[in-house]
Amino acid sequence: MSNEKLEQLRSDLDAVNLQLLELINRRAELVQEIGKVKLKQGINRFDPERERQMLNLIVENNKGPFKDSAIQHLFKQIFKASLDLQKDETQKALLVSRKKQKDNTVVTLGPVEVGGGEPVLVSGPCSVESYEQVRQIGETLKANGLTLLRGGAFKPRTSPYDFQGLGEEGLKILRQVADEFGLKVVSEIVTPTDIEMATQYVDVIQIGARNMQNFELLKAAGRVNTPVLLKRGLSATIEEFIHAAEYIVSGGNSQVMLCERGIRTYEKATRNTLDISAVPILKQETHLPVFVDVTHSTGRRDILLPTAKAALAVGADGVMIEVHPDPDVALSDAKQQINIPQFNEFVAKLRESGLYKESAPVL
Ligand code: PEP
Ligand code: MN
């Protein structure tokens, strides 16, 4: 007898499930129709006020046994699923996603096309220290047929007592040297209100690892047309990195390049752990150019060349490396910068590998 009762209840439950299914789908059809009307009228699909009204009406009529909070939770899920129904896969994708744009974003900087197939080098000192220091590096880059000159004028340092950079004066030096040798300037900006000022001097705004989730800085970089080189945060996941890039692109600046610069792990043999797998993942998931910073990821002069080769072999669009005329007396990163002869050898060996061919036209 009790078995029969159970069977009956189960069959009633199945019937109710099917009724619910029909009603939920009927609801979905209505939502789709509303979506079409809204699209015609140019109204935003998501309307939190309307959602609140619907939830209030539902809760007012709730006679239990479900608690109001449980009912609200269930209906929130239904609302969310209905809203998703109005968008297809492309609409749901981020702007930086490959799903949104199949073709690579190419950032043109003078004679180089970053992301256009031929890898490029970004090189220069960790910090801008003097005109003469940067001039020597500018000359070296030119002699090697390179275009992208880096140098930090605003330095985010771990200790407030360490050299903080020359600021705007440093940007002026970079610009002057770049103009003398026909180079393009990449330099880090750390303050949102400095972005506008920086566009007068730099060709690429770098956003450093420590600022990858400085959302106001990302938004400020999104409001200008100057290309941005965004470095991965010290402990940022690839997903967080991609979302940081989305901040800039959704703000209106599509010229964004990514830079893997090593992440924090327990390993002590290198300064950071170069996440080489991030390169093909970022290339697959986004359409943005991807760099690998071999200096900050390894912190070791003896493995710059093999890691640069590895980066290019897995599809990086470029490599960043720090070079200083006299690394031993450098005001930052003295241990890991290489000198000019070592740099010349690095470039020559990278070319020998066949993975790298960059050569700027002689002016
Ligand atoms: C830099 O490139 O100058 C720098 C400070 O690197 P990161 O932000 O990756 O630490
Ligand atoms: Mn450095």
Closest CA to 308 of 235, 297, 272, 330: 297
Taking the centre of ligand 1 as the mean of its atom positions, its distance from the CA of residue 259, in whole angstroms, is 10
Taking the centre of ligand 2 as the mean of its atom positions, its distance from the CA of residue 88, in whole angstroms, is 43
Taking the centre of ligand 1 as the mean of its atom positions, its distance from the CA of residue 227, in whole angstroms, is 17
Q: Residue 363: what pLDDT?
A: 59
Residue 215 CB coordination number (10 Å): 13
Using the atom order of ligand 1, give the atom closest to the CA of residue 208: 8
Q: Residue 62: what pLDDT?
A: 97
For each of the chain's 363 residues, which pLDDT tens digit applies? Answer: 679 999 999 999 999 999 999 999 999 999 988 888 888 888 877 788 999 999 999 999 999 999 999 999 999 999 998 888 777 667 789 999 999 999 999 999 999 999 999 999 999 999 999 999 999 999 999 999 999 999 999 999 999 999 999 999 999 999 999 999 999 999 999 999 999 999 999 999 999 999 999 999 999 999 999 999 999 999 999 999 999 999 999 999 999 999 999 999 999 999 999 999 999 999 999 999 999 999 999 999 999 999 999 999 999 999 999 999 999 999 999 999 999 999 999 999 999 999 999 997 765
Q: Write down the pTM of the prediction.
A: 0.84
Question: What one-character-per-residue DSSP string does 103-148 give?
Answer: SPP-EEETTEEETSSS-EEEEE-SB---HHHHHHHHHHHHHTT--E
Q: Residue 209: what pLDDT?
A: 98
Taking the centre of ligand 2 as the mean of its atom positions, its distance from the CA of residue 15, in whole angstroms, is 67
Taking the centre of ligand 2 as the mean of its atom positions, its distance from the CA of residue 41, in whole angstroms, is 52
Interatomic CA distance for residues 330 and 298, integer angstroms: 18
The enclosing H or E element of 206 equals strand 204-207
Q: Residue 87: what pLDDT?
A: 73
Using the atom order of ligand 1, give the atom closest to the CA of residue 210: 8
Nearest ligand, measured from the Cα of 156: 1
Degrees, nearest 5: CA angle 331-304-267: 85
- Beta carbons of 337 and 295 less than 8 angstroms apart: yes
Q: Residue 32: what pLDDT?
A: 87
Q: Residue 35: what pLDDT?
A: 85
Degrees, nearest 5: CA angle 329-334-340: 75
Interatomic CA distance for residues 199 and 183, integer angstroms: 15
The protein residue with its alpha carbon nearest to ligand 1, atom 9, reads 209
Interatomic CA distance for residues 70 and 76, integer angstroms: 10
Interatomic CA distance for residues 278 and 287, integer angstroms: 14
Q: Residue 82: what pLDDT?
A: 84
Closest CA to 68 of 295, 140, 76: 76
Q: Residue 92: what pLDDT?
A: 80
- Beta carbons of 171 and 134 less than 8 angstroms apart: no
Type of residue numbered 212: M
Using the atom order of ligand 1, give the atom closest to the CA of residue 211: 8
Strands 112-114 and 107-109: antiparallel
Taking the centre of ligand 2 as the mean of its atom positions, its distance from the CA of residue 299, in whole angstroms, is 9
Interatomic CA distance for residues 152 and 127, integer angstroms: 4
Q: Two tokens at 307?
A: 């890691």
Radius of gyration (Cα) for the chain, nearest Å?
A: 27
Q: Which long-range contacts (CB under 8 A, 24 or more apart) does 41-48 make?
A: 45/83, 45/86, 45/87, 46/83
Type of residue numbered 118: E
- Beta carbons of 337 and 128 less than 8 angstroms apart: no
Nearest ligand, measured from the Cα of 272: 1
Q: Residue 362: what pLDDT?
A: 64
Residue from 293, 295, 337 to probe ligand 1 pocket by mutation (most atoms less than 8 Å from CB): 293
Domains of the chain (ranges plus CATH)? 2-93 (1.20.59.10), 107-352 (3.20.20.70)
Using the atom order of ligand 1, give the atom closest to the CA of residue 206: 2
Residue 65 is given by DSSP the state S
Residue from 137, 171, 187, 206 to probe ligand 1 pocket by mutation (most atoms less than 8 Å from CB): 206
The protein residue with its alpha carbon nearest to ligand 1, atom 10, reads 209
The enclosing H or E element of 230 equals strand 228-231
Which residues, judged by CB distance below 6 Å to any ligand atom, belong to the binding site of ligand 1?
Answer: 126, 152, 188, 208-210, 231, 261, 293, 296
Distances (CA, A) of 205 to 156, 227, 254, 306: 15, 6, 13, 28
Taking the centre of ligand 1 as the mean of its atom positions, its distance from the CA of residue 334, in whole angstroms, is 14
- Beta carbons of 137 and 334 less than 8 angstroms apart: no
Residue 330 is given by DSSP the state -
Using the atom order of ligand 1, give the atom closest to the CA of residue 127: 3
Taking the centre of ligand 1 as the mean of its atom positions, its distance from the CA of residue 102, in whole angstroms, is 30
Residues 6+ apart with CB under 8 A from 75: 54, 55, 58
Please name the residue ranges forming H helices in the chain: 2-41, 48-60, 68-85, 89-92, 131-143, 168-181, 195-198, 215-222, 238-250, 278-285, 294-298, 304-313, 340-352
The protein residue with its alpha carbon nearest to ligand 1, atom 6, reads 208
Type of residue numbered 302: D
Nearest ligand, measured from the Cα of 150: 1
Which residues have C-beta under 5 Å from ligand 2, the single-atom ion?
Answer: 126, 333
Taking the centre of ligand 1 as the mean of its atom positions, its distance from the CA of residue 252, in whole angstroms, is 24
